[in-house]
Chain A
Amino acid sequence: MDTATTPEPSSPKTRSKARTIGRRAFLVSSVVIAGGVAFGYYTVKKPHLNPLRDQLGPDEATFNPWVKISPKGITLITPHADIGQGVASMQAALIAEEMDLDFGQFEISQGTPSAAYYNTALAGETVPFLRNDHGIVAESVRTIADAMVKVMGMQSTGGSSSTIDSFVKLRTAGAVARETLKEAAFKRTGIPVRDLRTASGAVILPDATKIPYTQLAGDAAKLSPVTDVVLRDPSQWRLIGKKMERLDIVPKSTGTLTYGIDLDFKGMLYAAVKVSPRIGAARLGYDASKAKAMRGVKAILEIPNGVAVIADNTWRAFQAADAITFTWGKAPYPPDQDAHWAEVGRSFTKERLDKEWRHEGDVDRALSGAKVIEAEYRAPYVAHQPLEPLSAVIKVTDGRADLWTASQAPGIAQQKAAEVTGLPLENVHVYNQYAGGSFGHRLEFDHVKLAAEIGRQMKGQVIKMTFSREEDFTHDYPRQIAMARPRGTVKNGRVETCDLHIAAVSAARSYMSRLGTSIPGADLMLAAGAWDLPYKIPNFRVTTYAVPELAPVSSWRSVGPSTSAFFADCFLDELIHAAGADPMEERLRLTDDPEARRVLETVARMSNWGSSLGPNRGRGVAFATTLGTPVAEVVEVWNTPDGIQIEKVYVAAEVGRIVDPVNFENHVQGGVVWGLGHAMNCEITYADGMIQQPNYHVHEAMRLRQCPEIIVKGIETSAEIRGIGEPPVPPAAPALANAIFAATGKRIREMPFNKHINFV
């Protein structure tokens, strides 16, 4: 039932689109794009150069920025950073599908930062339209944003956009390579292309003779790429939609994958840093006399707002850094957490109005004279803290810098390293690494700047800088702090009015200010997860207020909806209960959006909504559209004598296409664990200007014993492919809070929930 209306990507319309994209992306133009704002739209539309062309050896061929073939082997470039989400395999599978390669027949490489790898899908999220809104205004604005992103050359990984960005582009890259190799085979054998087939990395002649692609590399190198290609019908797919063994699964299960932190070079030294724990505060003084005398310490360097220790072993560098005493300046933000909350609370004013995003009916009139239900909701700062601490390996010489690090934005890492070292951008070489998680953390670049500074002061020396866990935790720019003051009314058993006021610090503005720029207009992310609810409430208004930056904040897996969907969905649940309605039935009554209905009806069926769970148990439902992907979740809890136990979670997500069903399920489950775990017991707080949570014991999130059974259904009805990295996160917290209310009668309006209730 869920796949009945799946459109065929090889329909005439899609076919011509594929060709257009093929030409635009793969024809090598003589126009060089050099950054800047003076470029008109026409120039921007021209393709970027293929960075692989500069790196070719004799007899090596490249047809586009994603495929390189030499007599020795085939390399596929997978520029989206693999931060654990499996995109390296996903990208390779999309190319291999059309190129007729089997897993095991190619190597993969993350490539070097290049404008050719700009992320066109992400641009859609910089403009205030739903990703699934294809109205003419939405399309034209999105196209301008696409152009902007291309000028910036943002080769970034984020916004759950990798699959969306790659789905047509990389299959087209594979098809271009395949057709060009067939052309090369034709030139060699004289057999017309129409009589040639391809399979398992070879062109196959009518008499079944196989010519491996690698043997055609030299001939193909002399040809112009064939760009008039047709993408295959999904019925012919060998890889997409089927279980595949992730390329990194064996190395990751045998301790043989090299992460950024594992890199090792002959003669390498190790660096630890201590940077002001009051973010942005100056180093006023320090005493390193004890550290200098410690075993293995090679140098102590002054770096901006801190000190670096260079030693012959990471632990010795950590120990020496801990032995240094400091005097720090004052934090450029309120030193204590209460003052942060007070500032947020003061922000529901006309002066700080960011935008009124929607207003149906007449909210003010509906609220006057009626019995008004009102509440205050809070979502705290929360850390990213992937398990692999931040690290970078740097080597700076007089004319060049080499940087090895795991980044979601390697182009920005390159730019920052160039700024610190004073080298031209093209002399800074960045090698992106496998990351032990990120969740938004590796969009940031302070660690890159610190490593570059260390390299600048230690010319000619290879140095690996590693953050201690404590340094990482206390310098993690957390998720935005946010608060909501919603009001509403109910009438005749129905929700009548919902007036959501949300005040938050903008993660996007905070990040842009660190990049030395700003974003014009209102920040969509403050409202995302609330303004886009598909409910036809008679009086419905969503308003956001911009809290001035306090401590710096950053994009945290799912960004705005991680807080706004909690506010919006829990308050809606309050209204539904006040109306005496059923939480699932009322949500369904309120929406005629087909995708929202589909995911809600699916989780209702999966969870057998309406059946009795018995005493002390309860169900909660929540729905959010995050970065274009609608997701509904039902959480079941048991109120045991010792506290709440989360027993089951049901998830339905509308994603258009599932490239790898195993990785899809794993990802959705992980997103639910992430959403629940942080809502249960995590917050970052400041005292004396410093983050008070230095390690996992005070920011634990979920452990295995607390993990519920998580049952996942991916729906593939939508015409477009969608991301799944972040969308399962936002509904998890409100579904849990709503379930706790159903089981206990206690309404929790503040994260972390363990401030108000125990979990077993």
Chain B
Amino acid sequence: MELNVDGTIHVVDVEADMPLLWVLRDELKLKGTKYGCGAGLCGACTVHIKGEAVRSCSISAGDAQNAPITTINGLGTPAARHAVQAAWIEHQVAQCGYCQSGQIMTAAAFLAKTPNPTDAEIDDAMSGNLCRCGTYPRIRAAVKAAATTLSGN
């Protein structure tokens, strides 16, 4: 089957029901997308499919065909950072950092649709992503900063 990931078409030979997460990690070797819970509970594996934030552990490769998929590795790079990534760096959000790929992907999809979010909307949008280190105060601040940057552009 063909998957369009970060602007590249990949041909993979996998079961249609293999979760997209494991195709990304073990077949395409794109390791920025993390395995946390495997059950859609933590959000560490969040990617964008047609711009929507999706838990890649809970969507099959078969269902992810024929749609552009963006992972954290395609959102931006250390040299060319997405505004959300830049805000995450400026606010030094990460502690262990393991959840942050998913946090950033959720925030980027959210801000694309909600350019001027209220505090309550931010809390609502980001509460599906678990952070065991407790970086929530900095996540809030970084989302607000990214919103300002993005709406100013």
Q: In the assembled complex, how far is the CB of residue A449 from the closest CB belonging to chain B, in whole angstroms? A: 22
Among the stretches A252-260, A411-419, A537-545, the one at the interface with B is A252-260
Greatest chain A CB density within 10 A among B19, B32, B81, B85 is at B32
Residue of A nearest to B33 (CB): A255
In the complex, B126 has a CB within 8 A of chain A: yes
Complex contact A252–B100 (CB within 8 A):
yes
Does the CB pair A469–B38 fall under 8 Å? yes
A91 and B87 alpha carbons, distance in the complex (Å): 25
CB of A93, distance to nearest CB on chain B (Å): 14
Residues of A within 8 A of B29 (CB): 264
A368 to B139, CA, bound (A): 54
When C-beta atoms are compared, the residue in chain A nearest to B26 turns out to be A313
Q: Contact partner of B96 among A250, A386, A662, A710, CB < 8 A?
A: A386
A437 and B98: CB pair below 8 A? Answer: yes
B54 located at the interface, meaning its Cβ lies under 8 Å from any Cβ of chain A in the complex = no
A253 close to B100 (CB less than 8 A): yes
Q: Evaluate contact between A255 and B72: CB separation under 8 angstroms.
A: yes
Provide the B89-118 mask, 1 if CB < 8 A to any CB of A, else 0.
100111111111100100000000000000
Known: A258-B31, A469-B39, A672-B134. A704 touches B96 (CB 8 A): no
Question: Shortest Cβ distance from B82 into chain A, in angstroms?
Answer: 9
Min CB–CB distance B41 → chain A (angstroms): 5
> Is the CB–CB distance between B77 and A315 below 8 Å?
no
Among the stretches A205-213, A515-523, A693-701, the one at the interface with B is A693-701
In the bound complex, do residue B92 and residue A249 qualify as a contact, i.e. CB atoms below 8 Å apart?
A: yes
Contact A314 B96, CB 8 Å, known A385-B132, A469-B39: no
Binary CB contact string for chain A from 316 to 334 against chain B (1 if under 8 A, 0 otherwise): 1010000000000000000
Chain B residues 109-153 with CB under 8 Å of chain A are 123-124, 126-140
20 contacts between A and B (CB under 8 A): A248-B94, A253-B88, A253-B97, A253-B100, A253-B104, A255-B71, A256-B73, A270-B26, A313-B14, A386-B98, A388-B36, A389-B35, A436-B96, A437-B95, A437-B96, A670-B95, A704-B123, A704-B126, A704-B129, A705-B124
Q: Which residues A707-728 have CB closer than 8 A to chain B? A: 707, 709-710
In Å, the complex CA distance between A736 and B13 comes to 53
The interface residues of chain B lying within 8 Å CB-to-CB of A615 are none
Whose C-beta in chain B lies nearest to the C-beta of A711? B137
Q: Which residue of A lies closest to B84 (CB)?
A: A253
Shortest distance from the beta carbon of B48 to any chain A beta carbon, whole Å: 13
Which positions 31-81 of chain B face chain A at CB distance < 8 Å? 31-39, 41-42, 44, 71-73, 75-78, 81
How far does the Cβ of B24 sit from chain A's closest Cβ, in whole Å? 11
Those of A458-488 within 8 Å (CB) of chain B: 466, 468-470
Whether the pair B98, A259 counts as a contact (CB closer than 8 A) is yes
**B97 pairs with A436, CB closer than 8 A:** yes
Residues in chain A near residue B34, CB distance under 8 A: 259, 261, 387-388, 436
Asked whether any CB of chain B lies closer than 8 Å to the CB of A245, the reply is yes
State the Cβ distance, B123 to closest chain A Cβ, in Å: 4
Closest 6 CB pairs of A and B: A255-B32, A84-B96, A673-B134, A436-B98, A252-B97, A255-B72
A253: chain B residues at CB < 8 Å are 81, 85, 88-89, 93-94, 97, 100, 104
Q: Which residue of chain B lies nearest to A250 when distances are taken between CB atoms in the complex?
A: B78
A695 to B42, CA, bound (A): 10
Smallest CB gap from B25: residue in A: A314
**Cβ–Cβ < 8 Å partners of A387 in chain B:** 34, 36, 42, 44, 96, 98-99, 130-132
Beyond contacts A436-B96, A470-B38, A704-B131: 14 other A-B pairs, Cβ-Cβ < 8 A, are A84-B97, A84-B98, A255-B75, A264-B31, A313-B27, A314-B25, A387-B44, A387-B99, A437-B96, A468-B38, A669-B136, A696-B41, A696-B42, A705-B126
Residue of chain A at shortest CB distance from B94:
A252
The residue in B27, B41, B95, B127 that gathers the most chain A C-beta atoms within 10 A of its C-beta is B95
Q: Is the CB of A670 within 8 A of B97?
A: no
CA gap between A345 and B127 in the complex, in Å: 38
* A interface size (C-beta, 8 A): 65
Report whether A314 and B15 are in contact in the complex, using a CB–CB cutoff of 8 Å: no
Determine the chain A residues whose CB is within 8 A of the CB of B18 once the complex forms. Answer: 313, 315-316
Do the beta carbons of A249 and B76 come within 8 Å of each other? Answer: no
A23 contacts the other chain (CB 8 A): no
Contact A313 B22 (CB under 8 A): yes
Q: Does A404 contact B (CB under 8 A)?
A: no
CB distance from A487 to the nearest CB of B (A): 35
A104, CB-defined interface residue at 8 Å = no
A677 to B133 alpha-carbon distance, docked (Å)? 11
Q: In the complex, which of the residues A86, A254, A701 contacts B95, with contact meaning CB atoms closer than 8 Å?
A: A86
Q: Which of A254, A257, A672, A696 contacts B81 (CB 8 A)?
A: A254
Complex-state Cα separation, A673 to B139, whole angstroms: 13
Residue A686 CB within 8 A of the other chain: no
Kindly list chain B residues whose C-beta atoms are within 8 Å of the C-beta of A386.
Answer: 96, 98, 132
Is the beta-carbon distance between A254 and B124 smaller than 8 angstroms? no
Chain A nearest CB: distance from B7 CB in Å? 15
Report the minimal beta-carbon distance from B99 to chain A, rounded to whole angstroms: 5
A83, A86, A318, A666 — which one has the most chain B CB atoms within 10 A of its CB?
A666
In whole Å, how far is A323's beta carbon from the nearest beta carbon of chain B? 14
By the criterion CB–CB under 8 Å, are B94 and A677 in contact?
no
Q: Is the CB of A295 within 8 A of B36?
A: no
- Flag if B22 contacts A314 (CB, 8 Å): yes
Asked whether A704 and B97 contact (CB < 8 A) given A264-B31, A469-B38, A696-B130, the answer is: no
Taking the nearest CB of chain B, how far is it from the CB of A90, in angstroms? 13
Partner of A704, one of B19, B73, B101, B127: B127
A140 to B11, CA, bound (A): 67
Cβ A84 vs Cβ B95 within 8 A: yes
Docked Cα-Cα span, A253 to B95, in Å, equals 11
Q: A85-B95, A387-B44 are in contact. Are A704 and B132 (CB under 8 A)?
A: no
Give the docked Cα–Cα distance between A224 and B15 (Å).
62
Q: Per-residue 0/1 for B1-30: is the Cβ within 8 Å of any A Cβ (1 yes, 0 no)?
A: 000000000000011001101100111010
A251: nearest chain-B partner, CB-CB: B78
User: A314 contacts B26, CB within 8 Å?
Assistant: yes
A156 to chain B, nearest CB (A): 18
Please name the residue on chain B nearest to A701 by beta carbon: B132
Given A253-B85, A314-B26, A387-B36, A707–B137 Cβ distance below 8 Å?
A: yes
A370-407 near B? 1/0 per residue, CB < 8 Å = 00000000000000011111000000000000000000
**B31 nearest CB neighbor, chain A only:** A262
Contact A257 B77 (CB under 8 A): no
Complex: how many Å from CA A259 to CA B100?
13
Specify which chain A residues have a CB less than 8 angstroms from the CB of B96 in the assembled complex.
83-84, 386-388, 435-438
Q: Report yes or no: B37 in contact with A705, Cβ–Cβ below 8 A.
A: no
Which of A252, A261, A264, A677 has the most chain B CB atoms inside 10 A of its CB? A252
Q: Contact: A256 with B32, CB < 8 Å?
A: yes
Residues of A within 8 A of B14 (CB): 313
A439 sits at the interface (CB 8 A) = yes
Closest to A437 in B: B96
List A contacts of B31 (CB < 8 A): 255, 258, 262, 264
Closest Cβ–Cβ distance, residue B18 to chain A (whole Å): 6
A254 and B97 contacting across the interface, CB-CB below 8 Å:
no
Min C-beta distance of B56 to chain A, whole Å: 12
- Contact indicator per residue, chain A 294-323, by CB within 8 Å of chain B (1) or not (0): 010000000000000000011110100000
